[in-house]
Structure 1
C-alpha cells in the first residue's frame, strides 16, 4: 500500500528532483539512488514502479536538448546488449537476488575509476586503448539487467562510454538515448509484474513537476559546467554509486 502523505513527498520530491538532474545533466550514473531513497518510505517493488514512469518522463524531456549529438555506434552497442539484459531481468526478477550483481557492478565501477586515475597520473602505462565493441554489448547486458532490478544501469554504461573518450555533450547525449530505449523496454514487463498501481499513478502525477524541474536544472548545469569538471564529477558520481552498490550488496 502506497501512503501518499507528507512524509512520502518530503522524501520522494527531492529524490525525483535529484534523478532528473543526474539523468539530464550528468550521465545517469547516480540516478538509481533515487529508487533506493524512495524505498525508505515504500516497499522496494513499489519504489521501482513509482520511479520508472518518472525516469521515462525525464528521458523524453532530455531528448530535445541533446537531439542528434549522441554517438550512435556506442548507443546501439549498449542497447543491443541491454534488450536481452532486460528480458533476463524480467525472467529472474522473482527468484534472483540482485546483491551479488550489485557487488560485481559496484566493484567494476570503483575499479574503473581507480584505473583511469592511475593512467592519468602516469602510474600505469597500459590499458589506455578504448574498450572494443564487444565490451559495449557485454556492458549493455549488465545495463539492462541492473536497470530492470534496481534502476542501476548507469554505472556499467558509464564504464564503457568513458573508455570511448567521448566529449562532454556526446557522452551525455548518448546516455540519454540509451536509457530512453532501455526504460521503454522495461515498461511492459513491469506492468505484467504488477509494479504499477492506481496509487503509483497518482504519485507519478504529483511528482512529475519535480522530475521536469530536475531535468531543466540538469540540462542547464550541463551547459555551464566545463568539460574537465564534468568528467571529474562523473567519476565522483561513478565512485559514489559504485560504493553504494558494494554497500548494498554486502548488507
Structure 2
C-alpha cells in the first residue's frame, strides 16, 4: 500500500466502510470503493487492496444467508461470470493503468446515469434464462474483476426476476462471494495481493467488519430511496473525476 496522506487514509476508510455497508444490506454502496481509492492510488492497486476486504466481509453474509438463495439463478449466471473473470485476467497486462482508470470511471458513470434516468427496471416479471444469465453474468464478472463493480449488470439480470427479498439478498451474497473467491487466483497471479496490499487490507478490515453491523442497522432506519440517491450522485461525481483525470 502506498504512503498516503491523512486525506488519502480518510478515503481508504470510506472505501472500507462502503464494502462493509454493502455486505450489511446496502448492496450498491460498495460500488464507490475502488473509484474513491483510485483518486489516491492506481485503480489496479485499489482493486487488489479491496479484494481481501470483500472476501472476509462475505463470510458474514454467507452465514446469514446460508439457506436463502436460488440455485437456478446462480447456475445461469456463474458460468458467464467465470468467463468474464477470465477475459479480465487475459487482458489485464494489455490494458494500461489509464485504460483501467477510464473503465472504472465509465462503469460508474453508466450505472449512475442509468439509475438517475431509469430509476425503475421493467415491471414485467421474468424467469431465469441461460442466455440472459450468461450475458449479464459475463459483464458482471468482468466489471467485478476490473473494479469490484459487478453489481449493476447483476441487478439488470436479477431484479426483473422479482425474487422474494431474502432470496434476492441471499442469491446476490452467494454470487459475489463465489466470484470474489475465484478472483483471488488471477489477482494473486498478477501480483495484486502483494504484502503491502495485504497489510493495508488488514488495517482496514476492522472498519469494514464494523460497517457490516452498521449496514444491518442503517438499512432498517434510513429511507433507502434517499440513501441510494445520495450514493448515486456521489458515484457520478467520482466517476466524472476519474474520466477527467485520464482525458484532461
**TM-score with structure 2 setting the length:** 0.81
Matches of 1:67 and 1:237, distance apart in 2: 31
Residue 247 (structure 1) shift? 3.5
CA separation of 1:66/1:102 partners in 2, compared to 1, >3 Å: closer, same or farther? same
Matched, 1:180 2:177: yes
Deviations 1:202-225 (A, max 9, x none): 112211101111111223334x26
Q: Would the aligned equivalents of 1:57 and 1:211 in 2 still touch at CA under 8 Å?
A: no
Correspondence for 1:194? 191
Matches of 2:207 and 2:221, distance apart in 1: 22
Correspondence for 2:36? 37
Structure 1 segments, 4+ long, off by >6 Å, are none
Q: Would the aligned equivalents of 1:140 and 1:157 in 2 still touch at CA under 8 Å?
A: yes
Correspondence for 1:130? 126
SS of structure 1 residue aligned to 2:159: helix
Residue 240 (structure 1) shift? 4.7
Matches of 2:143 and 2:216, distance apart in 1: 25
The within-5 A match list for 1:1-251 is 2-3=2-3, 6-27=6-27, 29-96=28-95, 97-98=99-100, 99=102, 103=106, 106-107=109-110, 110-111=113-114, 114-115=117-118, 117=120, 128-130=124-126, 133=129, 134-222=131-219, 224=220, 230=224, 232=225, 236=229, 240=233, 243=236, 247=240, 251=244
Matches of 2:119 and 2:145, distance apart in 1: 28
For structure 1, the 5+ residue unaligned runs are: 121-127
**TM-score with structure 1 setting the length:** 0.80
Shifted more, 39-48 versus 232-241: the winner is: 232-241
Residue 119 (structure 1) shift? 6.0
For these two proteins, the number of residue pairs brought into alignment is 239
CA RMSD of aligned residues (A): 3.1
CA separation of 1:168/1:208 partners in 2, compared to 1, >3 Å: closer, same or farther? same
Shifted more, 236-245 versus 156-165: the winner is: 236-245
For structure 2, the 5+ residue unaligned runs are: none
SS of structure 2 residue aligned to 1:33: helix
